[in-house]
Structure 1
Amino acid sequence: MEIKEMQRIVDEWIGQFEEGYWSPLSMMARLSEEVGELAREINHQFGEKTKKPDEPIGDLALELADILFIVVCYANSLNIDLEDAFKRVMAKYRYRDSDRWTRKD
């Protein structure tokens, strides 16, 4: 799925509710919450903090998708084209970091 399609699907989903997109500050809080949930799960699976015996293993893919959903909501609410923004950020990384690490042969 292309990013524009994600943005369209999220906009259709949000558009069916009177409340619409949350304010930028509320979305920032929501994004922080979702990143915290991802961090907690990564710590459980790969870090020193073990889960309780009765606690199920979380779904890292779903946690990442929650973050992606909020990022798309953020972009939509601010009329940001994420495809264009992603192209620009990759150009920045290619320029800035092209010689930063050891390349594979």
Structure 2
Amino acid sequence: MTFDDYQRWFKGYDAARGLDSDAPLESLAHLSEEVGEIATHLLRLNGVKAMDAARRDEEINALALELSDAFVFLTKIANSYGIGWEATIQHAIAKAEARWDVRDGQAEAARRNRARHPDG
């Protein structure tokens, strides 16, 4: 399934449920809720919040579900304005490649690693 296939399916699914007229600001509010849930899972997975190590796989699965929930609300916003994912992603790829060539990206990665681990 392509992004555009998903977007078309979701538009029909949302319409069938009568949820296709939700205001974009409402979708943004729901997206913000999902981002908070994503943050909670990341904090657990990175040891900032307590998590039983035996539940790591379960936590990763929960993170995946929250990421998909966030994508739902991004898609609702895109659909509200007739923005197609395929074209948007192609534009994002071109923008990224124009902004960061491989060498610049490697230099930025090295800088970030030095900042995270200043002692070695």
How many residues were matched structurally?
A: 101
Cα 1:62–1:76 change in 2 (3 A) is same
Aligned to 2:31: 31
Once the two structures are TM-superposed, the CA of residue 82 in structure 1 deviates from its matched residue by: 1.1
Greater Cα offset, 57-66 or 71-80: 57-66
> Aligned with 2:68: secondary structure?
helix
Please give the alpha-carbon distance, in whole angstroms, between the structure 2 residues aligned to 1:29 and 1:47: 27
Structure 1, unaligned runs of 5 or more: none
Aligned to 2:111: none
> Aligned with 2:17: secondary structure?
coil
Greater helix share, structure number: 2
Partner letter of residue 7 of structure 2?
Answer: Q
Aligned to 2:76: 73
Moved over 6 A (4+): none
Say which of 84, 100, 105 aligns to 1:101: 105
Once the two structures are TM-superposed, the CA of residue 19 in structure 1 deviates from its matched residue by: 4.1
Once the two structures are TM-superposed, the CA of residue 8 in structure 1 deviates from its matched residue by: 1.1
Aligned to 2:22: 22
Please give the alpha-carbon distance, in whole angstroms, between the structure 2 residues aligned to 1:12 and 1:18: 10
Percent identity at matched positions? 30
Which of the two has higher C-alpha Rg? 2
Aligned pairs for 1:3-14 (under 5 A) are 3-14=3-14
State the Cα RMSD in Å: 2.1
Given the two structures, how large is their TM-score scaled by the length of structure 1? 0.84
Once the two structures are TM-superposed, the CA of residue 25 in structure 1 deviates from its matched residue by: 0.8
Please give the alpha-carbon distance, in whole angstroms, between the structure 2 residues aligned to 1:38 and 1:19: 24
